[in-house]
Structure 1
Amino acid sequence: MARPATEMDRSAPAARHGAFHPLKVAAVDRLTEDSVAVTFAVPPELRETYRFTPGQHLALRRAGGGAEIRRTYSICAPAVDADGPQTLQVGVRLVEGGEFSTFALKELAVGDSVDVMAPAGRFVLEPAPGRYVGVVGGSGITPVLSIVSTLLAREPEARFCLIRSDRTVASTMFLEEVADLKDRYPDRLQLVHVLSREEQQAGLPSGRLDEERLTGLIRALLPVESVDGWFLCGPYGLVQGAERALRTLGVSRKRVHQEIFHVDEGASAAPAQARAAAPSHAAVTATLDGRSGNWPVQDGESLLEAVLRNRADAPYACKGGVCGTCRAFLVSGEVRMDRNFALEAEEVEAGYVLACQSHPATEQVELDFDR
């Protein structure tokens, strides 16, 4: 099973804070017409800093148009080096109008330097014996590729079933890498590939991998009750459909882990009654790297924005409620979150919030970024 988020945070606190280091680009490899794999060289003195758990992501930073641009991309390489990684590789798919993805595909070159934050994220699996399943769509393959390649290399008693959905063969990221894994571990890796816009000569018929289709497919393929962990990653619609399918099949919520890519604007926004006006004189107390401060929250500001005005090192990446980099523990007070696509239900129940999506509902709010 994946390690609990709280346990992982205690063991790797550096991954939760906002420090960046410049890393040299060692390779830019074209995967498809609209995606590349970017490899960074990790110098010896930073190998411990960039030690990662399979499934984690990196926040990348660059200046553009007079403003700072940050984006998160999942690590796709296996975690097999005991001394920490010599290189880090991420998959980048072009997003229409995306400043960083356009830069990565059209301008980024070997020898360039990019600011990279330490690995973060809780969509992870520490290798352990058992049966695991991944349901991924499009670029959602990137963290799951790291998970499955690490698991099969380090744990001989583990099995993995990968169900992936793509538009066409030509648009499939890491097609050869997954095929190589299947050849290397034919008895322990089960691969099911569904194309939504292209017929295959063999295998499943084309079509969207929706809730109904997934329910039937999983029931036919797997002993559901024997699966130790389910990893869902990709567009919002696919992940939500997969989660509903697993609920129909009686899978315990504790066994399901998900990471959302590509959330439509307005999806799961807070209802109108929840967007009540904040207290007129709200303030936030925040603890970060052992130092605390108390600052006013301006009208309409998120708690992250209030903290950033006074602590530029506050951790964040997407500011969209997706990556989870700004996760903090709510020590006291009440907040409302506009969107949440990063925290598990258990984390919210335990008191964690996304600072980028949180607004004060009481005059005093206290956050702890160190927990």
Structure 2
Amino acid sequence: MAVSPPSVPSAPVRSARHGAFHPLTVAAVDRLTDDSVALTLRVPEELRAEYRHAPGQHLTLRRKAPGSTGTRRTYSICSPAPAPDGPGPELLRVGVRLVEGGEFSTFAHKEIAAGDVLDVMVPAGRFVLEPSAAPAGGHYTAIVGGSGITPVLSIVASLLAARPDARFCLVRSDRTAASTMFLEEVADLKNRWPDRFQLVTVLSREEQEAGLPSGRLDEERLTELLPALLPVSRVTGWFLCGPYGLVQGAQRALGALGVSRTRVHEEIFHVEDAAPRVPAAAPAGAASRRVTARLDGRSGTWPVRDGESLLDAVLRSRADAPYACKGGVCGTCRAFLVTGEVRMDRNFALESEETEAGFVLACQSHAVTEDVEIDFDR
């Protein structure tokens, strides 16, 4: 995917220090299922303004290890967002599902305890729904799988509390009832707003006593199911979150049902079936490449090694450059392409409107032209 900058920048400038880490104390560790926990983090009063978040945003947690830059992982905030005119949050809660071989998720499940201190990046992410921006009588729907419930939990709770005229339908898929994260929290939302919150649960490996038959929520099933559940054409916005296969299947189903792409928002948590990255190599005899990057108001220019991503080139001199997964999924390293041309290996974080506006993922971008300039501050 080759990307060139547009003639006119069209994105607002982001706040400074968007990639900053601060030490936060773990207030509680709650086991949700056999393979998932919720971490509650306490935010000191002097940092609460920096940790204000929109419903659906995420935090990057960093585990420092001797002799390394540490392990980073991104986890969505499940707690409701603070009111726009109120103070920042005193507590932040994230959900962590155990991933086989996952260094940080194993650490979270086996070692993290109340009282521990973690390095936590300030909130980021664009998979959001601001209640203040929702139109009167807005009707929203989310299709989630597994841990994809985490950001949507914050979105639903924040929206329904702030907008008495809003409605929300949640279609969630899990393997079994025992593996379902935030079961009690979602039930509480249903009890609190029975007339405005519709809940549909599908289990892929277990039959339910009542409700839908078991099975995967694939494209064919969603194409049949959604029109039976709600007026598809009148849904204000769709939020898809979870594994790559579920999100892509839901996107195709909505397309088949005539839903405009502009009303669909996605966040992918796992990309098991994506093609592996193939590093871009400079042609033989090509001139050396350089990247100029602006970050927190300061700019610098550095050489880009053969096959190296723009992010890695910047990190050699600016260790504070924002990133988390380095896999093209979380979007933490999003930057605006000011000049030059780059090739992105893969992109599971930016929507088409963002790439058309000139944004790229620095972790996946390789310089095509001799000079490239990116701006992390936009």
Q: 2:95 aligns with which of 85, 91, 94?
A: 91
Gaps of 5+ in 1: 1-5
Quickly say closer, same or farther: Cα 1:65–1:173, change in 2 above 3 A.
farther
Q: Which residue of 1 aligns with 2:375?
A: 368
2:268 aligned with 1:251: no
Equivalences for 1:188-227 in 2 at 5 Å? 188-227=196-235
2:106 aligned with 1:102: yes
Alignment partners' CA distance in 1, 2:202 and 2:316: 47
Q: Which residue of 2 aligns with 1:295?
A: 302
Question: Size of the alignment, in residue pairs?
Answer: 360
CA contact (8 A) 1:269 1:338 kept: no
Q: Which residue of 2 aligns with 1:3?
A: none
CA contact (8 A) 1:75 1:142 kept: yes
Q: 1:185 aligns with which of 177, 190, 193?
A: 193
Deviation at residue 64 of structure 1 after TM alignment: 3.3
Alignment partners' CA distance in 1, 2:332 and 2:367: 19
Deviation at residue 224 of structure 1 after TM alignment: 1.1
CA contact (8 A) 1:59 1:72 kept: yes
For residues 75-131 of structure 1, what are the alpha-carbon distances to aligned partners after superposition, in whole Å with 9 as ceiling and x for unaligned?
000113421101000000000011100010111000000000000000000012300
Q: Which residue of 1 aligns with 2:315?
A: 308
Equivalences for 1:1-371 in 2 at 5 Å? 10=13, 13-14=15-16, 17-64=18-65, 66-67=67-68, 68-81=70-83, 82-127=86-131, 128=134, 129=136, 130-264=138-272, 267-268=274-275, 275=280, 277=282, 279-371=286-378
Q: Which deviates more, 72-81 or 207-216? A: 72-81
Specify the code of the residue in structure 2 equivalent to 1:322.
V
Alignment partners' CA distance in 2, 1:277 and 1:222: 52
Specify the code of the residue in structure 2 equivalent to 1:199.
E
Deviation at residue 237 of structure 1 after TM alignment: 0.1
TM (norm. structure 2) is: 0.92
Q: Which residue of 1 aligns with 2:7?
A: none
Alignment partners' CA distance in 2, 1:74 and 1:87: 14
Query: Which one has more relative contact order, counting CA pairs under 8 Å at least 6 apart?
Result: 2
State the 4+ residue runs in structure 1 displaced beyond 6 angstroms: none
Deviation at residue 299 of structure 1 after TM alignment: 1.0
Pairwise CA RMSD: 1.5
Gaps of 5+ in 2: 1-9
